[in-house]
Amino acid sequence: MTDKIQAIPTNLITGFLGSGKTTAILKLLRSRPQHSNWAVLVNEFGDVGIDGAMLEQEGLDDGVFIKEVPGGCICCAAGLPLQIALNLLIKKANPDRILIEPTGVGHPKKVMDTLTGEFYKTVLDIRATICLVEAHKINEDKYRNNETFIDQLNMADVLLASKSDKASQTELDTFYEFSQSFRPVKAHLDAIEFGQFSTDLLDIKRNEQRCAVHPNAHPKKIREHHSHGGSENSTSHSTNTAKSQLEHEDNFQWQKFENNGQGYFGCGWIFDRSIIFNENKLEDFVKDEVFSRVKGIFRTHKGWVLMNRSDDQFSKEGYENSQDSRIEIIESEYHDWNDVEVHLLNCIQ
C-alpha cells in the first residue's frame, strides 16, 4: 500500500456540527513542517461535498492532499467506505501524516475500530483524537442529551474549547469543569480562537482505554436523490412555482439530495455553474433564523462567494472559482425541502 516502513501518524479531528473542524485543519496544514506531505480525509453528512472544496481553494502547496467522502458516515458498511478512501489517499499522497475529519454527527467508535483493526496495524500509527467543543453551547440540552456528542467527548484525548472568543468566562469555566469529569482524564484541555492550536498536540499518545458509552448510537441513514432540469426525462419534486420557472429556463438544471440519520435531517443542492445567484437575496436566505446549519459555495452577480452559517454565527468570504454552486442544510428537525427549494430558487438572479 505504501513504500514507507514506518507507520503513518494519524489523528481524528472530531467535533459536532459547526464546531470549527475544517478551520482548525486548515490552520494545521499551514503550520506543518516544511517539505512534508500531509493528507486529509474529509467526511460530510450530506451528499453535497463542501468542506473538501473549502480546503482545496485555500492555496495550499503541493504537499497537501485532500480527499472528500460525502454522503454519510465513512464508518458504515463495516468500514468499507473508509478503507477504500483511505487506501486511495495513502497511495496517492504517500503522506507523512493523515488527518481524518469525520462528519459532525458521526459516531467516532466505528471509525476508530477500522483504523486500529488488523488491516492497518502496521500501516497507521493512531495518535491523539482531538475534539473541538463550542464552550458557549455545552450546556444546551440538544448537546448534553446527544449520545454521539457525548461519545465524541468520551473518546477524545484532547478537548479544545473552539471559538472561545464567543464564550463568556462562566461558559469557559463550565467547559473546564465538565471536561475534567471524564475518566481517564484528558491529556490536554485548552481554549482556542479561530481554530488555532499547536501541531504538537497531534503527537500526544492515544489512550486506548478511552471508550464509547453509547457505541450503538449510530442509526443508518436514508438518502434520496432528485434531478431537475429542462430535459423531458428529468423528474421534478419541486412545487408549482419552481416548475413554472423550469418552463421558462430550458438550461436551468440542478440536483437535490435529501438524507436523514443520527437524529438529523439534511438536504443539499448542486447547481450548474451557468446559474447566477443574487448575493443579497442569498445572504438573506442563509441568515434566515429557520435554519441553524447552512454552508455553500455560490456563483453570484458579484462573483464567487462562500457562505457559512452555524446557529447565530454567519461568515461570508470570496471564493476563487468552482465547477458548480452547491449548498448543504443540516437540521435537527425536519423541513419541507420542496418549500425550502422554492425560496432558494427565488435567490437566482
The ranges of the chain with pLDDT < 70 are 1-5, 46-47, 52-61, 70-79, 217-252, 261-262
Sheet with 313-318, edge to edge strand ranges? 222-228, 254-261, 264-272, 324-331, 293-300, 303-310, 313-318
- Name beta bridge partners: 134: 162
pLDDT tens for 310-349 read 877 888 888 877 888 999 998 878 889 999 999 999 999 8
Q: What's the confidence (pLDDT) of residue 241?
A: 38
pLDDT tens for 227-278 read 665 433 333 333 333 433 444 444 558 988 887 766 778 898 999 989 999 9
- The ranges assigned to domains in the chain are 8-203, 222-345
Architecture of domain 8-203: 3-Layer(aba) Sandwich (3.40)
Nearest to residue 13, comparing CAs of 110, 144, 104?
104
Q: What's the confidence (pLDDT) of residue 71?
A: 63
Q: Are 105 and 262 in contact (CB under 8 A)?
A: yes
Nearest to residue 257, comparing CAs of 342, 328, 331, 325?
328
Q: What's the confidence (pLDDT) of residue 224?
A: 61
Give the global pTM.
0.81
C-alpha cell at 269: 443542492
Q: What's the confidence (pLDDT) of residue 75?
A: 61
| Residue whose C-alpha cell is 438524507 | 259
Q: What's the confidence (pLDDT) of residue 292?
A: 82
Q: Are 97 and 202 in contact (CB under 8 A)?
A: yes
At 287, give phi and psi (nearest 5°): -80, -5
Cα separation, 218 vs 16, in Å, equals: 14
Nearest to residue 12, comparing CAs of 158, 150, 148?
158
